[in-house]
Amino acid sequence: MTEASDLASAYDLVVIGGGPAGLAAAALAARAGVSTVLFDENPGVGGQIYRGITSTPLKKRAVLGEDYWAGAELAAEAKASGALIVTGATVWSLDPTRQVGVSIAGKARMIEARRVIIATGSLERPFPIPGWTLPGVMTAGAAQTALKAHGLVPNGRVLLAGCGPLLWLLAAQMLRAGARIEAILDTTLRANWLRAVPHLPDFLLSPYWSKGLALLREVRAKVPVIPIERLSARGEGKLQQVDYVSRGKDSRRQADVLLLHQGVVPNVNLANAAGVAHRWNERQICFEPVLDVDFGSSVPGIAIAGDGAGIAGGTAAAERGRIAAIAAVRALKPSASVPDPQSVRQKLQREELGRGFLDTLYRPADAFRLPEDETIACRCEEVTAKQIRDMAAIGCEGPNQMKAFLRCGMGPCQGRLCGLTVTELIAASRHTRPADVGYYRLRPPVKPITLAELASLPISEAERKAVER
Amino acid sequence: MVRTADVVVIGGGLHGCSTALHLALRGLKPILVEKDYAGRHASGVNAGGVRQLARDIAEIPLSLSSMAIWEHIEELVGDDCGFASHGTVLVAESEAEFADFRARVDDLRLKGFTHEELIDRAELKRLVPAVSDHCPGGVVSRRDGAADPFRTTQAFRKRAIEKGAEVMEGTTVTGLSRVDKTWRVETSAGPIEALKVVNAAGAWADRIAAMLGEPVPLEVIAPMLMVTSRVPAFIEPVVILRSRKLSFKQTGNGTVVIGGGHRATPFRDQNRTVLDWEKLAISARTVWELFPIMREATIVRAWAGIEARMPDEIPVIGPSSTSEGVYHQFGFSAHGFQLGPGTGAMMAELIATGATNVPIDGLGIARFVAR
């Protein structure tokens, strides 16, 4: 186990996040002879997509699928490359001078990096419905984490609701692991099918086409799929019932577990706090960093690879990590031999072909992004959609002013669960665009650290002198 | 189109908003020009301390007059601004420090100021039970308190508008010129003409002063703050230290704000700051020693607001030394929040009547103008 005190004070390259982008980037850079450290906050590498890849108790390969096991190769390559891979390491700060604040086992360090690749991936898009804070209502991602890391599937009457490729993948994985799913409440707008048609030719060329179709068939054979327009969770102290409207008709089902998912969005928190410029992506309805062809950001020396650069999926993430790493190696050590980035770019293009279709088809409906009035938008501070709309109506123009009035986004999640909802609610109320409303200015630490951890930062030379004097 | 006003106030911090409100209350028509939005910088993100304690003698009269407004803040702006009065306590960490504090309090009494009061170990423990046992006593200013800074600034802005002030946000001042007695303020949204101008531009005030031929040695600073997750209520007054940089306060919702003056690196042209975690770690260690109860609290956010510091750490207040009709109100050197309400009232009185009863001797810009 690497401890905080074992770390050097500086590295050529710091990679943050050990999913496909981070693993591929660290492996390529370290093999080229660049001193590389990879930090990941989880007990093992893999990120969300390959979570538990070196430790999962699910040894039957068919449960998680061959695409999952592709992660094992990436992890092995990174391990063999000579990169220092530190798990259980939470990066809580990154600034434009590339000082990296990291905590390992309760001890903090500041590390200097000549280059940084942020590979912190994606987050599930907020899915604010009435009752989404009830025990028993979880995100599909949380259920997938339990499955991959511990081989656990939820007990009782389980419903899935939402849209997107990952919802279908999770359903298939749960079924293969022996779970029972009562129904899938599909929020995909029927009109989206028409809008997605122009993107179909590209999609047919992408690897997602045949895989996706097989998944849909597999799940539909075992679980009823109900198209819905409205959704709410109800219960005393815990989830008991799910109400929904399907084709204009009110229905309800008893349920113990409701798993929600409507796609993923880039996890922008660390890049935002580091001062990286972001822009609104209307097709993916989220903010994403402004990047050059090598995934370099507006802050010199900081690149962003993987889904954090805009959602494109796990295999694309690895190629993006390689491209970012090639640029880093060329800047740090021009004499090193690296793969031809052009060939990597071609692979990446193929991986990205299917996105237009998926983004358009699975664009979450307004009703599930702009919640009704009494629905909680900010879970940490329990702020309702109505409070946000009212503030916007009396002149609050942006999320940062909203923080001051309502404290939304000020809790421990730092806006991860409410940021997009707040931006879109303000934009809708003020009849403007999310691009003009903007996003929270995020403050470090981007992950909470204890006062004791911060106090454990090694005392600098200057401070020691000040005390001795 | 040229807009006209009685007074152009440059800067939408608490000071600019307060001056605009008090001008409007006197029946004048102010236009406030703010390059970002009101309270975007130090006024909106400071620690919120409403403190008379431990101030320079030169600003005590202003501070006392401001306190009188704070105690009835809701009557003025229609919002209590989150103001709660539980006092500020300056904790002595050694007998030597305690002796210094006694001398300061005695000196203030001789000058007629009674707001600072020496307290012994027992009273310190009563006021701040969680304080570490090694502290022999301290000084308290019982009427002090704390408020919500952004809410306060917004309340002053809102009431100023209700009383007739115009507030132009997202508007930058680009030039100042004078024809006869009329000032022409060039802005990114067109020119404004007025007989009087107030420079309340905070960390950018030196640029306004330079346009008037009054360069000042203003330092742009960004004092850092951090806030913890909610912890059970354990402390009411704001606590400050002298020899080590610390201010410490628990808000009504249970979070604890830790500050005290360690600084981030400011980039005022980008509206950005870069935090210095090694310095924040010093604050963390100080809290660790002083308040053992805080050791496992979680830091959820750290930040710094951009503001102006003068070399003598007291503000620049009063008429320009070169330009008739221009008044300065900047350089509050990390302790301007409490002074906002009173300084705005004083400034409006000065502009409207030509004189003020609040002594501001020693705060003029002349002290920096080369002879």
Q: Is B234 on the interface with A (CB under 8 A)?
A: no
Structure tokens at A121: 């991936």
Question: Number of Cβ pairs closer than 8 Å across A and B?
Answer: 90
Task: Tell me: pLDDT of A69 over 60.
Answer: yes
How far is residue A368's CA from residue A230's CA, in Å, rounded to a whole number? 8
Q: Is A96 on the interface with B (CB under 8 A)?
A: yes
The CATH class that applies to domain A126-262+357-361 reads: alpha beta
Taking only the tens place, the pLDDT of each residue in B265-310 is 999 999 999 999 999 999 999 998 888 889 889 999 999 999 999 9
Q: What's chain B's average pLDDT?
A: 95
Task: Tell me: pLDDT of A469 over 50.
Answer: no
Structure tokens at B131: 């304080």
Taking only the tens place, the pLDDT of each residue in A192-221 is 999 999 999 999 988 888 888 999 999 999
The dotted CATH code for A9-122+265-338 is: 3.50.50.60
The CATH class that applies to domain A370-437 reads: mainly alpha
CA-to-CA separations, A304 to A15, A34, A323, A445, B126, in angstroms, rounded = 10, 18, 10, 19, 53
According to the model, what pLDDT value does residue A463 have?
A: 61
- A9-122+265-338 and A126-262+357-361: same fold? yes
Output Rg (C-alpha) for chain A, integer angstroms. 22
CA-to-CA separations, A35 to A15, A91, A252, A341, B37, in angstroms, rounded = 11, 18, 57, 21, 44
Among A residues 440-469, those touching chain B with beta carbons less than 8 Å apart: 443-445, 448-452, 454-457, 459-460, 463
Task: Tell me: pLDDT of A365 over 90.
Answer: yes
Q: Is B281 on the interface with A (CB under 8 A)?
A: yes
Who among A96, A397, A444 is closest to B302 (CB)? A444
According to the model, what pLDDT value does residue B312 have?
A: 96
Contact A322, A23 (CB under 8 A): no
**Quick one: closest CA in B to A442, which residue?**
B301
Taking only the tens place, the pLDDT of each residue in A238-260 is 999 999 999 999 999 999 999 99
How far is residue A81's CA from residue A208's CA, in Å, rounded to a whole number? 30
According to the model, what pLDDT value does residue A464 have?
A: 59
Q: What's chain A's average pLDDT?
A: 94
CB contact under 8 A, A95 and B275: yes
How far is residue A10's CA from residue A409's CA, in Å, rounded to a whole number? 33
Domain boundaries, chain A: 9-122+265-338, 126-262+357-361, 370-437
CB contact under 8 A, A451 and B284: yes
CB contact under 8 A, A451 and B37: no
According to the model, what pLDDT value does residue B370 have?
A: 66
How far is residue B127's CA from residue B310's CA, in Å, rounded to a whole number? 33
More confident position, B246 or A395: B246
Torsion of CA A443, A448, A451, A453, to 10 degrees: -110
According to the model, what pLDDT value does residue A59 have?
A: 86
According to the model, what pLDDT value does residue A461 have?
A: 58
How far is residue A299's CA from residue A115's CA, in Å, rounded to a whole number? 11
Q: Average of pLDDT values for A152-181?
A: 95
Q: Which residues in chain B come in under a pLDDT of 70?
A: 370-371
- Our CA-based measurement puts residue B282 at a distance from the nearest CA of chain A, in whole angstroms, of 7
* Residues of A whose CB is below 8 A from B274: 95-97
CB contact under 8 A, A411 and B300: yes
Task: Tell me: pLDDT of A468 over 50.
Answer: no
Residue in B278, B287, B289, B296 to test binding to A, most A beta-carbons within 10 Å: B278
Helices (H), chain B: 14-25, 42-45, 60-70, 73-77, 95-110, 121-127, 149-162, 205-211, 277-290, 340-353
Task: Tell me: pLDDT of A462 over 80.
Answer: no
DSSP 8-state code for residue B229: P
Contact A360, A199 (CB under 8 A): yes
Element (H, E) at B247: strand B247-250
pTM more than 0.80: yes
Beta bridge mates, A289: A278
According to the model, what pLDDT value does residue A412 have?
A: 83
Predicted complex ipTM: 0.88
| A195-203 contact pairs (CB < 8 A, 24+) | A195/A360, A195/A361, A195/A363, A196/A357, A196/A360, A196/A361, A199/A356, A199/A357, A199/A360, A200/A357, A202/A353, A202/A354, A202/A356, A202/A357, A203/A353, A203/A354, A203/A356, A203/A357, A203/A358
Taking only the tens place, the pLDDT of each residue in A294-332 is 999 999 999 999 999 999 999 999 999 999 999 999 999
Output Rg (C-alpha) for chain B, integer angstroms. 21
B250 burial (CB, 10 Å; 0-12 / 13-18 / 19+) is: buried
Q: Is B299 on the interface with A (CB under 8 A)?
A: yes
According to the model, what pLDDT value does residue A465 have?
A: 55
DSSP 8-state code for residue A309: G
Domains, chain B, with CATH or none: 3-77+149-215+312-368 (3.50.50.60), 88-143+219-309 (3.30.9.10)
Output b/e per residue, B327-363; b: 16+ Cβ within 10 A: bbbbbbbbbbbbbbbbbbbbbbbbbbeeebebebeeb
